[in-house]
Structure 1
Amino acid sequence: MKDLISRQLIRYLENRGIEHIFGLCGHTNIAVLAALENSSIKFINTRHEQIAAHAADGYARAKKQTSVVLTHLGPGLTNAATGVATAALDSIPMVVIAGDIPSHYYGKHPHQEINLHADASQYEIYRPFVKRAWRADRPDLFPEIIEKAFQLAESGRPGPVLVSVPMDIFSKEIDTALFERLNHHTKTIQKPSIDDETAETIIQRLVHATNPLIYVGGGILIADAAEELREFVDHLSIPVVHSAMGKGAVPDDHPFLLGMTGFWGAQFTNDTCRQADYIFALGTRFAEADCSSWESEYTFNFPPTKLIHIDIDPNEIGRNYPVEIGAVVDLKQALHVLNRVAKEILPEGRQNNPFKQKIAVYKENFRKQNQVHIKDSSFPMRPERILHEVREVLPRDAYITTDVGWNKNGVGQQFPVYEPGTIFTPGGLATMGFGSSAALGAKIAQPDKVIVSLVGDGGFGQNPSVLATAAEESVAVIWIVMNNNSYGTIAGLEKAHFDTTYGTVFQKDGKSYSPDFASIAKAYGVDGVKIQSAEEFKPALKQAIESNKPFVIDVQMLNVPTPTTGHWNIMDIYSPDEKRSHVSV
């Protein structure tokens, strides 16, 4: 039997369990859209391809499933590129299906083709950041390509792949047997574990260490290994620190959780890292901000500290620091073995009450030091008060998406996360505009959870048309616009080092300026509130949650820098031999 590839593609995705596709139309992909009309798969129509890619990213993180993006060639593909690259650097599985020029027009430069250096090469735009970029030039090979795309996206270190499809291929008939044979291929690849001998060596090194420490990256959450990690920590009573992407892998109220490392990490956390004799790193790439630009006087000091590092990606082991023991493994599988071996070596576990008390004292002191800002009733509001009241109002299992600035760095430093995998932040690319769209995908994936996007006015202004999709689909995200009328973090840096804020603040006729985001929301058909005093914020957030509708809260915020104790080498580039960081503007 023969059928159109476009219809067989949708049937394949249905059989694979895909429930939503994010994207935007174009003349190259309408055959797929037409095939979707009567499908069980819901097409989430966005007003910009970057929104589609970020929403698909948030969806994949929240649902723990590979997401699908459908886009057009040329400007559609390039618009989506930032969102796809963000997903790539954060190891998020995604399959991007893009329409391409008709195969019979190769070399003729048809409408919207990018071919300034080679004909029929638009798919190569994605080559630097996707795991693989395919172009499906023959209809009979398309089934095999789409199957390989999902397998590659999900295996090893997950990430996006691109399948670029000439539009005429979508409309070709194909023998359905070529798709049916894919049913015989496994949809789950078995992942590598760790051998008992290596596990025993790791456990012995940790239990005989004087000051062991566990350093957790986002790989724990990607591997869905938070439960196994907590069992490991509870049994051996080893303190835990985390990268920005590792936040939430161990709950912030766990007695052995210290907090985030690096430039925006607390002094106690960074000092503990430097004083460790062994660090057991799990699923992390030791990124610059988390490691204070790898300068040993601030966060990590390898050597003399010794490093044990396990990760699914061999390229990350030893990339930035020398490793005593390295293992390429799936973290969930490895921790299962490590837990068993640890209990064989130490059946009763190990207590570490002195350090537990030390952590408790540090957390209490930090809380007390922050009280002056949390209780500050001035307006514009202190960011510390905004974050504190958001945490007070939200249920423990609410999902948070962040952007960049206070809503990313401040959240990482001082906003408690209690359930693993409930905070989504753009780690690798630190993309402004991620949070507002990722929240859309997260809510579609988890419709029964409260989803809040903490986003700056700069980030929200990137793609406000996310509100159109939310209104059309009744996606009840709450956007909290932490509005300081500027690109606040960059403004503070420029002011500190160059004594100007040129190009970083929003002004009209020399006065501070901001759009009324609440009114913009209402124009899209979304509820919105513009906060006028600090006392109004908390009731407005409660109202937004109770409404169970899309909701924008525009709150003016003081532009004060996130406290820093680590280091970022850009400071030395801007102001050599001076100890400058950020300033308030």
Structure 2
Amino acid sequence: MKDLISHQLVKYLEDRGVEHIFGLCGHTNIAVLAALEKSSIQFINTRHEQIAAHAADGYARAKKQTAVVLSHLGPGLTNAATGVANAALDSIPMVVIAGDVPSHYYGKHPHQEVNLHADASQYEIYRPFVKRAWRVDRPDLFPEILEKAFQLAESGRPGPVLVDVPMDIFSKEVDVALFERLKHHTKTIQKPSIDEETAKQIIERLSNAKYPLIYAGGGVMLANAAEELREFVGHLGIPVAYSVMGKGAVADDHPFALGMTGFWGTQFVNDKCRQADYILALGTRFAEADCSSWEPEYTFHFPPTKLIHIDIDANEIGRNFPVEIGAVADLKQALTVLNRVAKAMVPQGMQKEALKQEIASYKKEFTAKNHVHIENPSFPMRPERILQEVREVLPRDAYITTDVGWNKNGVGQQFPIYEAGTILTPGGYCTMGFGAPAALGAKIAQPEKVVVSLVGDGGFGQNPAVLATAVEENIPVIWVIMNNSAFGTIAGLEKAHYDTTYGTVFKKEGQSYSPDYASIAKAYGVDGVKIQSAEEFKPALQRAIASNKPFVIDVAMLNEPVPTSGHWNILDIYSPNEKKSHVSTDEFVRL
């Protein structure tokens, strides 16, 4: 029996458990859209392909399932590229299915084809950042490619793949037996673990170390290994520092949770990492900002500190620091073995009350230092007060998405996260414009959870058309726009090093300028509030949560850079040998 490729594609996705597809129409993919009309799969229609890709990214993180993006060729594919690259650098599984020019027009340069170096080569645009890019040249090859695409996206270090399909192939018939055959293939690949002997070596070194430390990365969440990590930490009493992507791996109110490292980390956390004699690193690539540009006097010092590194990707082990014990393994499997061996070798566990008290004292002192800012009634609001009041209002298990700037760096440093996987942030690519659409995907994946997007006005302004999708699909996300009328972090850097904010602040005729995002929200059909005083913010957020509708809160915020004692080498590039910080000499950038 034969059937259209487009029909069999939709049936395959249904059988695989796909419930949502994110995308935007084009003449190359409408055969698929027509097939989706009667499907159980819901098509999330967006106004821009970057929104689709970021929403799919947020969906994959919150649902812990491979996301699917449907794209048009040419500008559709390039519009989506930023979101797909963001997913790639954060190891998020995604299958991008894109239409392409008709196969019988290869070499003729048909409408919207990208072919300046080779005919029918648009799929190669994605090669630098996807795990693999396929071009489907025959209908009978499509079923096998599709199966391989999902398997590759989900295996090893997860990430996006591209399946590029000439539009005529979507409308060709294929023997359905080729798709039926795929049902006999497993949809779950067993992942590697560590052996008993390696686990014993690791436990021996950690239990005998004077100052052991665990460094948790985003791989903990990707492996769904937070519960196993908490068990391990509790038994051996080892403090946990984390990368920006590792935040939430252990709840921030856990007695052994230290905090975030690197440039936006604190002196206490960075010093604990430098003083450690053994560090067990889990699922981290030791990124530059998390590691203070890898300079040994600030965060990590290997050697003399000795490193044990477990990661699913062998390429990350030893990339930036020398490793004493390296293991390629799935963290959930590895921690299961480590917990079993730890309980056998150290049956009573390890009690470290003095360390608990030291960490508790640090947290109390850090909170006290912020208290003056949190209680400050001034308007525009202090960013610390915004974050504090958001945390007070939100349930413990609420989902937070961030963008870049104060809403990312300040959240990483100061905003407690209590449940693993509930903070979605653009780590590797640091994409401005991620937070607002990622919240759509998170809410679709977790409809019973409160989802709040903390974004700057620069980031929200990238793609305000997220509001149209929220209205059409009834997605009750709350966007808190921390509005400093600037690309604030970059404005601070430029002011500190070049004594100007040229090109980084928003002005009209010399005066600070910002669109009225609350009014824009209302024009889309979304409830919107423009905050006029600090006292109005918290009640507005409570009202937004209670409404269970899409809601925009536009709150003017003082543009003061995130305070930090950390280090980033770009400061030395701007001002060599001057030891300048990211904060202007006027203490903050007055706009």
Partner of 2:235: 235
Alpha-carbon separation, structure 2, partners of 1:164 and 1:570: 38
Partner of 1:439: 439
Partner of 2:83: 83
Deviations 1:233-272 (A, max 9, x none): 0000000000000000000000000000000001100000
Q: 1:470 and 2:434 equivalent?
A: no
TM superposition shift of 1:566: 1.2
Partner of 1:147: 147
Structure-to-structure mapping, 1:409-428, within 5 angstroms = 409-428=409-428
Deviations 1:318-352 (A, max 9, x none): 00000000000000000000000000001111111
TM superposition shift of 1:578: 1.0
Partner of 2:127: 127
Partner of 1:223: 223
Alpha-carbon separation, structure 1, partners of 2:352 and 2:109: 68
Instruction: Classify the secondary structure of the residue corresponding to 2:489.
Output: helix
Q: Aligned pair count?
A: 585
Q: What amino acid sits opposite 1:417 in the alignment?
A: I
Partner of 2:546: 546
Alpha-carbon separation, structure 1, partners of 2:168 and 2:139: 9
Alpha-carbon separation, structure 1, partners of 2:3 and 2:355: 66
Partner of 2:58: 58
Partner of 1:177: 177
Partner of 1:349: 349
Instruction: Classify the secondary structure of the residue corresponding to 1:368.
Output: helix
Instruction: Classify the secondary structure of the residue corresponding to 1:558.
Output: coil
Alpha-carbon separation, structure 2, partners of 1:28 and 1:409: 40
Q: What amino acid sits opposite 1:175 in the alignment?
A: D
TM superposition shift of 1:498: 0.4
Partner of 1:389: 389
TM superposition shift of 1:153: 0.2
Deviations 1:509-553 (A, max 9, x none): 000000000000000000000000000000000000000000000
Deviations 1:388-435 (A, max 9, x none): 000000000000000000000000000000011000000000000000
Instruction: Classify the secondary structure of the residue corresponding to 1:245.
Output: helix
Q: 1:458 and 2:461 equivalent?
A: no
Alpha-carbon separation, structure 1, partners of 2:79 and 2:254: 41
Partner of 2:575: 575
Q: What amino acid sits opposite 1:542 in the alignment?
A: Q
TM superposition shift of 1:81: 0.1
Q: What amino acid sits opposite 1:431 in the alignment?
A: T
Q: What amino acid sits opposite 2:285 in the alignment?
A: R
Q: What amino acid sits opposite 2:104 in the alignment?
A: H
Q: What amino acid sits opposite 1:299 in the alignment?
A: T
Alpha-carbon separation, structure 1, partners of 2:430 and 2:175: 45
Alpha-carbon separation, structure 1, partners of 2:498 and 2:347: 59
Partner of 1:110: 110
Instruction: Classify the secondary structure of the residue corresponding to 1:178.
Output: helix
Partner of 2:559: 559
Alpha-carbon separation, structure 1, partners of 2:454 and 2:338: 37
TM superposition shift of 1:579: 1.8
Partner of 2:278: 278
Q: What amino acid sits opposite 2:400 in the alignment?
A: I
Partner of 2:69: 69
Structure-to-structure mapping, 1:447-526, within 5 angstroms = 447-526=447-526
Question: What's the Cα RMSD here?
Answer: 0.4
Alpha-carbon separation, structure 1, partners of 2:497 and 2:358: 37
Structure-to-structure mapping, 1:371-382, within 5 angstroms = 371-382=371-382
Alpha-carbon separation, structure 2, partners of 1:215 and 1:446: 28
Calculate the TM-score normalised by the size of structure 1.
1.00
Partner of 2:205: 205
Q: What amino acid sits opposite 2:256 in the alignment?
A: F
Alpha-carbon separation, structure 2, partners of 1:137 and 1:414: 51
Instruction: Classify the secondary structure of the residue corresponding to 1:162.
Output: strand
Structure-to-structure mapping, 1:245-284, within 5 angstroms = 245-284=245-284
TM superposition shift of 1:580: 1.3
Partner of 1:168: 168
Q: What amino acid sits opposite 1:136 in the alignment?
A: V
Instruction: Classify the secondary structure of the residue corresponding to 1:361.
Output: helix
Deviations 1:281-334 (A, max 9, x none): 000000000000000000000110000000000000000000000000000000
Alpha-carbon separation, structure 1, partners of 2:496 and 2:258: 30
Alpha-carbon separation, structure 1, partners of 2:34 and 2:272: 58
Q: 1:323 and 2:330 equivalent?
A: no
- Return 5+ residue gaps in structure 2 as ranges: none
Deviations 1:363-386 (A, max 9, x none): 000011110000000000000000
Alpha-carbon separation, structure 2, partners of 1:578 and 1:426: 31
TM superposition shift of 1:565: 1.1
TM superposition shift of 1:90: 0.2
Alpha-carbon separation, structure 2, partners of 1:119 and 1:196: 53
Alpha-carbon separation, structure 2, partners of 1:233 and 1:110: 59
Partner of 2:4: 4
TM superposition shift of 1:564: 1.2
Alpha-carbon separation, structure 2, partners of 1:192 and 1:139: 34
Alpha-carbon separation, structure 1, partners of 2:350 and 2:257: 16
Q: What amino acid sits opposite 1:506 in the alignment?
A: F
Deviations 1:29-86 (A, max 9, x none): 0000000000000000000000000000000000000000000000000000000000
Partner of 2:196: 196
Alpha-carbon separation, structure 2, partners of 1:557 and 1:468: 26
Partner of 1:536: 536
Alpha-carbon separation, structure 1, partners of 2:298 and 2:63: 37
Instruction: Classify the secondary structure of the residue corresponding to 1:120.
Output: coil
Q: What amino acid sits opposite 1:265 in the alignment?
A: G
Alpha-carbon separation, structure 2, partners of 1:407 and 1:200: 41
Q: What amino acid sits opposite 1:388 in the alignment?
A: Q
Instruction: Classify the secondary structure of the residue corresponding to 1:529.
Output: strand
Alpha-carbon separation, structure 2, partners of 1:295 and 1:52: 38
Alpha-carbon separation, structure 2, partners of 1:190 and 1:378: 55
Instruction: Classify the secondary structure of the residue corresponding to 1:318.
Output: coil
Alpha-carbon separation, structure 2, partners of 1:81 and 1:447: 27
Q: What amino acid sits opposite 1:450 in the alignment?
A: V
Instruction: Classify the secondary structure of the residue corresponding to 1:88.
Output: helix
Partner of 1:340: 340
Q: Where in structure 1 do 4 or more consecutive aligned residues deviate above 2 Å?
A: none
TM superposition shift of 1:445: 0.6
- Return 5+ residue gaps in structure 1 as ranges: none
Instruction: Classify the secondary structure of the residue corresponding to 2:79.
Output: helix
Alpha-carbon separation, structure 2, partners of 1:580 and 1:84: 35
